[in-house]
């Protein structure tokens, strides 16, 4: 992007080099085996990337949405699954703790999460409450100086590997009576009860968490009881912006693969690159990718300047994944039978990106947020 600083360009180069050496060569195997590239993940800590937005006081980089999205984009080109796990750790767990927790909690949890010694996750969605996250039923009942937590969480990225869980639970009958807690994996009554096998993002572990009379000290509550709605909604904005960087990376990977293939593959005694229809497909993919890049990074810039608009975040989250699914399908079509086979990575790009239209808020939820705001503004006028 034209406004990237020298430091941001250097970060881009470092992440691109790391992705090419430590992530891309192993992406296909981890997708096939449904395994987690924990070795590469740990090395991200050595590069200082696992706490990219966190307070430098605790080992973080203290950077913003632009830098976080640069990492998502470069890693997303190489392996979207591993990048999703990176996002769950760095943005959903570490960023939340850095933004909302007490100084004592930050000092206790952030250093090991940022170094890569520990892995984090966030627990919000439940078996019966996905889009309606505020309706969650996992309960935390006060008992002296402790809370007793009971319930289940579903679709939790990094569940099987997480040492630290950033948990939302209900502490009252009112719909917005939600409270946040930080749990450790060895807490009595906590378990990973189910491993979830997915269509895409297979290199990112996903599971169900179960809490059976799980006793958590009051000292591990984040903020005041019932104050978590504000924390939740604020973090959703930066999550939706930065996760869109993964889709942007997938789009770039599709374009690069199509350019390479069209220059090598021959039909009717000439390469595909000589056919105008193929040229049209590649040109449109590239133009759409450039448009998405400007939209996404402009939104990142506004976010970092303090113009934090949840509607803008919803627009980015709606449009990028939707457009990239189209690009991935077009790339498969351009490759013909090879695109449909596992011999080429196009089918993986499509499978991985489809999750982007569901996770962090479905397309339909993004539409609802955007439409409600537009109609509200129209009624005021």
Q: What is the pLDDT of residues 173-232, one digit of tens each?
A: 998 999 999 999 999 999 999 999 999 999 999 999 999 999 999 999 999 999 999 888
Distance CA 134, CA 354 (A): 24
Determine the pLDDT at residue 41. Answer: 98
pLDDT in tens, 228-249: 998 888 899 999 999 999 999 9
Average pLDDT, the chain: 97
**Mean pLDDT over residues 349-378, rounded?**
95
Distance CA 305, CA 355 (A): 29
Residues 71, 75, 80: CA angle, nearest 5 degrees: 125
Distance CA 373, CA 379 (A): 10
Higher per-residue confidence, 376 vs 189: 189
In the chain, % of residues over pLDDT 70:
100
Least confident of 133-137, 319-323, 342-346, 377-381: 377-381
What is residue 381's three-state secondary structure? coil
**Residue 366: how many CB atoms within 10 A of its CB?**
23
Determine the pLDDT at residue 143. Answer: 96
Q: Where does 211-341 have alpha helices with state H?
A: 228-264, 276-304, 310-335, 337-340
**Mean pLDDT over residues 95-107, rounded?**
97
pLDDT in tens, 57-86: 999 999 999 999 999 999 999 999 999 999
For the chain, domains (ranges, CATH) are 6-119 (1.10.540.10), 122-226 (2.40.110.10), 229-376 (1.20.140.10)
**Mean pLDDT over residues 137-156, rounded?**
98
Catalytic site residues? Answer: 239
Distance CA 310, CA 360 (A): 13
Q: Per 3-state DSSP, what percentage of the chain is helix, strand, and coil (rounded to 5)?
A: 60, 15, 25
* 325, pLDDT greater than 80: yes
Determine the pLDDT at residue 380. Answer: 81
In the chain, % of residues over pLDDT 90:
94
* Short-list 216, 230, 84, 206, CA closest to 153: 206
H/E stretch holding 29 reads helix 24-33
Distance CA 362, CA 367 (A): 9
**Phi, psi angle pair for 126, to nearest 5°:** -130, 165
pLDDT in tens, 310-319: 999 999 999 9
What is the pTM (predicted TM-score) of this model? 0.97
* Short-list 353, 318, 274, CA closest to 282: 274
Determine the pLDDT at residue 379. Answer: 85
Q: CB burial class (10 A; 0-12, 13-18, 19+) of residue 51?
A: buried
* 381, pLDDT greater than 70: no
């Amino acid at each position: 992007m034209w406004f990237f600083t020298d430091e941001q360009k250097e970060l881009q180069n470092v992440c691109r080099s790391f992705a090419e050496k430590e992530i891309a060569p192993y992406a296909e195997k981890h997708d096939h085996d449904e395994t987690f590239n924990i070795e590469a993940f740990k090395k991200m800590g050595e590069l200082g990337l696992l706490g990219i937005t966190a307070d430098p006081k605790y080992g973080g980089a203290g950077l913003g949405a632009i830098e976080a999205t640069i990492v998502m984009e470069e890693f997303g080109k190489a392996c979207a699954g591993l990048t999703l796990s990176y996002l769950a750790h760095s943005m959903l767990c570490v960023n939340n703790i850095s933004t909302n927790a007490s100084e004592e909690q930050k000092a206790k949890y952030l250093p090991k999460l940022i170094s890569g010694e520990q892995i984090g996750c966030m627990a919000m969605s439940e078996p019966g409450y996905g889009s309606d996250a505020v309706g969650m039923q996992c309960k935390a009942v006060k008992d002296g100086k402790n809370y007793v937590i009971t319930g289940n969480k579903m679709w939790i990225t990094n569940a099987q590997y997480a040492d630290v869980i950033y948990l939302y639970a209900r502490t009252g009958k009112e719909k917005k009576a939600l409270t946040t807690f930080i749990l450790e994996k060895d807490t009595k009554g906590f378990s990973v009860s189910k491993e979830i096998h997915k269509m895409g993002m297979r290199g990112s572990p996903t599971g169900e968490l179960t809490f059976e009379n799980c006793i958590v000290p009051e000292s591990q509550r984040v903020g005041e009881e019932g104050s978590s709605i504000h924390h939740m909604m604020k973090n959703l904005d930066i999550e939706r912006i930065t996760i869109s960087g993964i889709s942007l990376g997938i789009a770039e990977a599709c374009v690069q693969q199509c350019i390479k293939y069209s220059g090598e593959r021959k039909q009717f005694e000439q390469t595909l690159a000589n056919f105008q229809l193929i040229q049209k497909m590649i040109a449109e993919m590239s133009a759409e990718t450039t448009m998405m890049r400007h939209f996404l990074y402009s939104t990142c810039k506004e976010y970092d300047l303090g113009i934090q608009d949840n509607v803008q975040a919803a627009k980015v989250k709606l449009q990028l994944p939707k457009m990239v699914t189209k690009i991935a399908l077009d790339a498969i079509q351009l490759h013909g039978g090879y695109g449909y086979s596992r011999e080429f990575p196009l089918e993986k790009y499509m499978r991985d990106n489809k999750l982007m239209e569901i996770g962090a808020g479905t397309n339909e939820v993004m539409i609802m947020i955007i439409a409600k705001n537009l109609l509200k503004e129209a009624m005021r006028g």
